[in-house]
Chain A
């Protein structure tokens, strides 16, 4: 089943709130090998002007991929997850994700296109606090490999 091109331009309602915790930030920082104490020591973070420990630059993917799940799990979209390869990823940070943030993600399906027998879907997740402050724009392109 081909990927449904009608999904291009679709915008999903904001997700449930994700609460950014110091524990998850530490776990993620250790997993990617970021030794900056700003991820684990609130005093260091405050001395640099942050409200609390801050997340590494790619942490937002954790929330963005959960947002993407709304599209990928939608049977109408026609995306076979077993054939999905991550093609591109980009983050624009309006400010660092910080422990204590309560963020919601709004998923936009920017493009759906076919190229060389594969389908490529570019999604954009806008992460903002519950109060509406923009925090991060995460853009992802997935490639759905065509049948052999």
Chain B
């Protein structure tokens, strides 16, 4: 869990020049975004619970999760959704350019105490609209070899 209170040295260093937003003309249908792996452990889920105010015990209390019939603690679906879209925002160059984003939660991400879990995220440009400079990216997120998000589509406005 990141615990830098004042100096955001692990975040991108702010530079004098504004970061460039990806231009529409350089994007084509079928382009693949750089894939990433999101590692999630219990500490991360507690961090997300606090940040999001979603303190449901199934996301941090193993005996409770098992008592309600789950295999183990599971990640917040919204953690998976929120971390997966960073693939798109990093590729676009500005998190404020995502104007639509929707997913189905198809399977839970099970987070064992020791090993945590890895969520593999990839994305492909599905459609582009030259009039609005909007591009639609379909995200794929898998954990333990199973898709955890379905119909995951993010729409961003490019320059």
- Write the residues of chain A forming the contact surface with B, with a CB cutoff of 8 angstroms: 24, 27-28, 30-41, 43-44, 47-48, 50, 54, 56-58, 61-62, 65-66, 82, 85-93, 96, 139
Contacts and interface: CB of A to CB of B under 8 A. Distances in A.
Q: Is the interface of B mostly helix, strand, loop or mixed?
A: mixed
A62 B19 CA distance: 28
B81 A58 contact: yes
Q: Is the interface of A mostly helix, strand, loop or mixed?
A: mixed
Contacts of B68: 82
Contacts of A48: 18-19, 21, 94, 96
Interface in B95-122: 95-96, 98-105
A44 B98 CA distance: 17
Residue from B12, B51, B54 with most neighbouring chain A CB atoms (10 Å): B51
A35 B90 contact: yes
A38 B96 contact: yes
Interface in B12-53: 12-14, 18-19, 21, 38, 44, 47-48, 50-53
